Structure 1
């Protein structure tokens, strides 16, 4: 993971005409070929992990399963835990950093977004980033959207099609747009 870039972009606007913006788009452009290759044709689980290793510049554990197609724009700021499952058509907009802890499940068409555009119309093409963290054993439902700066707590469930705008407490189920807590999870046994 490119920690030096993550440090340079944290908590500051990134303007379209800056050298930093150009550097980000150079890395993004170089990764697009690998992402496209990975998403074209059939690849077994080992081949997908090999592509993800090249795309993210990190080792991917064997129990990690990513169903294709998988989309990412930057890719260097994703951290995968162990024994996670990511269903097909998931989108990671990861410039701000996406951390997926162990045993996480992510449903089809979910989107994890770490980038926002600037509000000022004159600077709208610029960016501001905040990390997303999905904690251990959380489940992100199909079509859910996790927005910049959100942490989804341990064992939490984000219902299908929810839009998560603020942190989700551990052991809670959230649903709706914007997502709200609907109930606590009552565990039958410890994980």
Structure 2
């Protein structure tokens, strides 16, 4: 793994992930919010380096391990460029493939099951801002779960708190605003069920 020159301590990372797991609103400017900003800066340093020049798949995966802070499961693949707001709360199963141009906002937790395929330019979001303009900088985390053998087509957006079932397919360009049952094809904006698979 690459050496990380980030400023986060293991205790700060543990505290950040624990705070995200509560699902409680994070107040802008609070201690945990400042740690989120530091984590974002760390992620930008690593992904900028990873995306700047492709040397080999093994090099890219080594940098991804540094970004995630843990070894990758067997068979994971990623085509850069790839960006994330944090990197420390993305969890991949074996054989996951992430195509180029994807953007993960993973503070709230992104969980992708085995052999899932994430198409070009997908966006997975796990934070919502407060609707009150006076508190708009506050954020509330909500995890996204993508099941084993699911397939997100190109340019899909998945919103916070969505669960996509095992073997489901999300058509290109869809915006997924609610849960998708297993082995179901959805498409459109917002995504709607097309048929069972």
**TM-score by structure 2 length?**
0.90
1:1-191 aligned within 5 A:
2=13, 4-9=15-20, 10-185=22-197
Root-mean-square deviation (CA, aligned residues, Å) is: 1.3
Q: Using structure 1 for the length normalisation, give the TM-score.
A: 0.93
Contact 2:97 2:117 in 1 (8 A): yes
Q: Is the 8 A contact 1:49 1:62 kept in 2?
A: no
**4+ runs deviating over 3 angstroms:** 1-4
Aligned residue pairs total: 185
Instruction: Look up the SS of the partner of 1:47 in the other structure.
Output: helix
For the 8 Å contact 1:61–1:82, the answer to whether it is kept is: yes
Please say if residues 106 and 140 of structure 1, whose CA atoms lie closer than 8 Å, have aligned partners that are also in contact. Answer: yes
| Offset from partner CA, 1:122-157 (integer Å, 9 cap, x none) | 010111110001110000010000000001100000
Q: Which runs of 5+ in 1 are unaligned?
A: 186-191
- Matches of 1:43 and 1:146, distance apart in 2: 30
Q: Quote the Cα distance in structure 2 between the aligned partners of 1:96 and 1:70.
A: 18
Q: Secondary structure at the match of 1:63?
A: coil
